[in-house]
Amino acid sequence: MAELLQKVRVIDPVSKIDELFDVLIADGFIKEVASHIADIHPDTQIRDCQGLILGPGLVDLYSHSGEPGFEERETLLSLLKSAAAGGFTRVSILPDTSPAIDNPALVAQLQQKRAEDNLSPLLHIWGAITVDVAGKQMTELTDLASAGVVGFSDGKPFENLALVRRVLEYLQPLGKPVAFWPSDRQLTANGVMREGVNALRFGLPPIPASAETTAIAAILELVAAIGTPVHIMRVSTSRSVELIASAKAAGLPITASTTWMHLLLDTKAVKSYHTSLRLDPPLGNPSDVVALRAGVRTGVIDAIAIDHTPYSYEEKVQAFAEAPPGAIGLELALPLLWQYLVETEEFTALELWRALSASPAECLGQKVSAILPHQPAELTLFDPQQIWKVERKSLYTLSQNTPWLGQQLKGHVVQTWC
């Protein structure tokens, strides 16, 4: 059935458009975009979209699936339903499942499950770099590439720079993205919070910024020597932004991402000791948040990742320092980022939508379509004014590890087309 969205605010970072249009969608394609569409089929469903926003479907660079191995946290079905409810039409899962996604058979199994269940959004899978994500031995990278992985990442800090160098040499001819999380575990030690005055105030073991920046510097040196493009995950410090900006200015083939929570919260939030604020890397100091936001706006930080990390209630009900790090976010990121970055006019709507759609797609070596006639209808319809409460019955994810649980949010996804 054809649908006509009347007077919808079209935000298209591909065409750099932020205007009111009528948009006609039929048979999975955008049929017409115009200031007014009057000539329509009698069976066309007409929707008054005043106050609503239509943009390209959101793209998540990396998140965690509980399946296989931890289905009590999240199944593939609940993950993809959660993503669709949050406006995402493409989701990329990291390989740290149990067993790890380190062989073509498991890649095929997950894709077959998605196809059999006729699930959307699109599922992309990161192939493990090392066997069982143990960091000791490389996987069969060529076989995984042939199996259709979107790229390669362990999603965990690397320890062996000689292995990283060899991986970059092996991956160069494959043309697949490779993503590293820079974190020196010796410098991190038993820390759980970013080093600074608040770590002292709250009595929590600190993690120095150098745990991240020294690891980034090592990656950049290897990229400069070998030339293989690299994506730097989970950037969380102001100094990291400076290093990445300098590397890009020097022409190094790198992209970078930060996570949505690192753009919204800083170490002051940890005062509550809410275990869903126990993240890795930890929330930054206020100066880090300022630098990360500026980095996203200018494109030094290419994309905002969700890094959706579900845990069961029992796993998170511990002392702050003992709780596993991570929080959910697929259904929460767009409303909260819009509310605190766009409505405050710190970001333009185009800047935010670009960092959540076109730019993460580019980091994966993909593109999103412009909102133009004859293009596929991979779209998200968002109501920035709708009020809803974050609670178990309002979420598709099986986990509730978020500091916003029980709170009212403004902004909700109305529909996605995939």
**From 12, 22, 288, 307, active-site residue:** 307
Beta bridge partners of 134: none
Distance CA 43, CA 46 (A): 9
Task: Determine how many CB atoms are found less than 10 A away from the CB of residue 192.
Answer: 22
Do residues 278 and 320 touch, judged by C-beta distance below 8 A? yes
Do residues 151 and 178 touch, judged by C-beta distance below 8 A? yes
Task: Take residue 129 and report the two structure tokens written for it.
Answer: 């770099």
Task: Determine how many CB atoms are found less than 10 A away from the CB of residue 175.
Answer: 10
Pairing of strands 303-305, 151-152: unpaired
Q: Give me the count of residues in the chain.
A: 418
Task: Determine how many CB atoms are found less than 10 A away from the CB of residue 145.
Answer: 19
Assess whether 307 carries a catalytic annotation.
yes
Pairing of strands 17-26, 3-12: antiparallel
**What is the enclosing helix (H) or strand (E) of 122?**
strand 122-127
Task: Evaluate the omega torsion of the peptide bond into residue 56 and state whether it is cis, within 30 degrees of 0.
Answer: no
Kindly list the catalytic residues. 307
